[in-house]
Structure 1
């Protein structure tokens, strides 16, 4: 008989500390085992190998076997193919190849190649796709300098190594849903690689449930402030979705999107976008499986006036977040390698913290594994508004793809709380709570008998 833990998982209690995330759910031992297999030694070896190509600038040499972006991408693909050998044929590795036209930070038409390692889900009825990414290109002060030594150890060999290490560990396991491990090019030149994948995903109707972007996840020391923090990681998530904001720029599109905007903003839902729900999920699951980890939710799409590879996915309507270290060292980032006035500059591998990269990698793995093992989200989640009442009635439908859930969690939090505070387990597709929809926010997520939860779905008003 398959062991179930749901009988003890009725709800999570309010913490005595304001806004504290509380979880009583027991971790899945198989996910914990995968988390433990993530190796700091392997991560360091991958970062140093990527640095050994001297430059991974998007416009650098593509013919050399030892130097330049061509050598780097060929090595990444070969290494991913080596991991795929343990998958029993389920993981396929490919180049996502395209020509980036001249313009902006690309001075001539350039063939770019993303590396995609696709771990196919085992359930033919489950179309969900989960993606994790880092960018493998690098740069120095001059964004157009393709020939200088550009080690890019933290920005972003750290994110690339993370994606590759997860592919190594997870390729040996099976998941109902599909996971894609990516190393993308052209980030520094204008998010070129991720834009191509996002547009391809949209055009080919990929059911991308979540995209995790890891960019600059290897440093723990803030030079300017003197702060050292090896337990915190930032997760950036947008509030009002990019697709809604873009539609407001066009009068006709704005009219079509008016109902969605009204429902989102007028009912206080500007803090409940799909990406914000993903960020909350990352905090809960990551802190459940990784000790001494504090996931800091940042209510921005990215850092101030900056961007990353999650952005093109947001613009195509997919839920996506960015992970970045707590304190960036700008003496290391986008710098020529040099020493001035006793200060070292340059993104060199000796300045990275590989135990920290391991911790962030483990967080990513726990989130991907929990999502890919969970049932799909409930459908048509609604909050019933046919009468005035101080109770809250919700209804929804079972997922249309994948395995049948063992039940559902109805999530609840106060309107001023950043995190879900209570989880009520039900087996029906409706629930009535003795809490007012005026005073609390609600969501519903599917859960299987082992406690793997889907992403939460915020209800829409229904009669």
Structure 2
């Protein structure tokens, strides 16, 4: 009996070791990307936020003439900081206002007003790579009354935290070169109706920009959950839509036939963000939230989604609503308001690194394979995939990805050098995707195959 138990224990131990070994996954970090991440400074992020708070209010309709207070002073300062980074980049970073006139809306815009997004663009080095990767936050702020343009509206977390992340990324990344174009933008008018983002999204569509991905950072510096008393400095949410708002009837029919309602461009981008960010940033867990935004709410990524671009929202895991849209006041010994002392700057540093790791990995990658298809000419329990090489730089190879239909994440990756692959798994039972990869392990976004005969 003892010998049987000993043998059973040894067998179970061997099985456990085997399972652990099978679960192990090598994570290769590019030293260049790690070097950039290490430059992200929590002290810099705090300095940027405190400076934005010093403008008293950044309400979209506030003073534009003062040099020290109001939306005008705030946007001029953000632009001047971008211009400092441009000088350090050798002039490659291009800084500008995206200026437009917002008509009255009978709601939160009482009369026509000139508004300005602040943009910094780092052009790509490959003329054949038309991809544009965008990262954003909104620099306007508010108190309880959305039309109150006078009172102190610090907006430290909502959303100076997002703008500070964007600015710190621009400072670090503008010193480097990437294949595609990077766009760093501070939006105006979010609290009044997403007007800055709507204007830029419309412009991008009209001018034919290839906005490959927009990561919108809104409320990304708090680690405390009101009421639940949860303190979490490891988790961050990524909101992504499954079915694009711009979907046509033909696209809807194809999606329904293939069952790919969970594989829209934004959802694929969210999976990519999780994989890359958790590879590069320690003590980080990216939570994929399968909604465009929080329940019945919206953000500056929404207009880009509506224009057909892949756009997602990054937000802290647990929000503190005592710090959002609140008049600065003290009641029963409790101080309300979105003040800089309530921002967790090391957490914001982690979120900034998260954004940067994704943007850098994607910007250094080759472009996606083209005309990716799954062969449907015959009944088979195998899956045959074919695709064409991408434009621009030739990939080192490709990953064919596979997951169960019930799985939220890609579960397996098969590396191939050719432009085709046949797997001993049925397309009836699994979802597949294809991405290119260069010799340093930088992956493109994933392309979902279409049926081909």
Which TM-score applies when normalising by structure 1?
Answer: 0.92
Whole-angstrom CA distance in 2 between matches of 1:272 and 1:38: 32
Look up the match of 1:456.
446
Runs of 4+ in structure 1 deviating by more than 4 angstroms, as ranges, are none
Deviations 1:410-429 (A, max 9, x none): 00111111111111111111
Do structure 1's residue 326 and structure 2's residue 317 form an aligned pair? yes
Whole-angstrom CA distance in 2 between matches of 1:380 and 1:258: 21
How far does residue 89 in structure 1 lie from its aligned partner after superposition? 2.2
CA contact (8 A) 1:47 1:153 kept: yes
How far does residue 223 in structure 1 lie from its aligned partner after superposition? 2.1
Deviations 1:117-171 (A, max 9, x none): 0001111111110000000000010000011100000000000000000000001
Look up the match of 1:376.
367
Look up the match of 2:284.
293
Do structure 1's residue 183 and structure 2's residue 212 form an aligned pair? no
CA contact (8 A) 1:154 1:216 kept: yes
How far does residue 266 in structure 1 lie from its aligned partner after superposition? 2.9
Whole-angstrom CA distance in 1 between matches of 2:19 and 2:267: 24
SS of the residue 1:282 aligns to: helix
Whole-angstrom CA distance in 1 between matches of 2:290 and 2:394: 34
Q: Which consecutive residues of structure 1, in runs of 5 or more, have no partner in the other structure?
A: 1-14, 245-256
CA contact (8 A) 1:25 1:451 kept: no
Look up the match of 2:210.
207
How far does residue 16 in structure 1 lie from its aligned partner after superposition? 6.5
Whole-angstrom CA distance in 2 between matches of 1:462 and 1:345: 59
Look up the match of 1:24.
26
Number of aligned positions between the proteins: 434
SS of the residue 2:323 aligns to: coil
Whole-angstrom CA distance in 2 between matches of 1:421 and 1:127: 30
Do structure 1's residue 408 and structure 2's residue 398 form an aligned pair? yes
Look up the match of 1:399.
390
Do structure 1's residue 417 and structure 2's residue 419 form an aligned pair? no
How far does residue 344 in structure 1 lie from its aligned partner after superposition? 1.6
Name which structure has the greater RCO, CA cutoff 8 Å, separation 6+: 1
SS of the residue 1:200 aligns to: helix
How far does residue 22 in structure 1 lie from its aligned partner after superposition? 7.4
2:174 paired residue among 154, 171, 176: 171
SS of the residue 2:314 aligns to: strand
Look up the match of 1:436.
426
Look up the match of 2:61.
59
CA contact (8 A) 1:23 1:288 kept: no
Whole-angstrom CA distance in 2 between matches of 1:230 and 1:112: 35
SS of the residue 2:202 aligns to: helix
Which TM-score applies when normalising by structure 2?
Answer: 0.94
SS of the residue 1:211 aligns to: strand
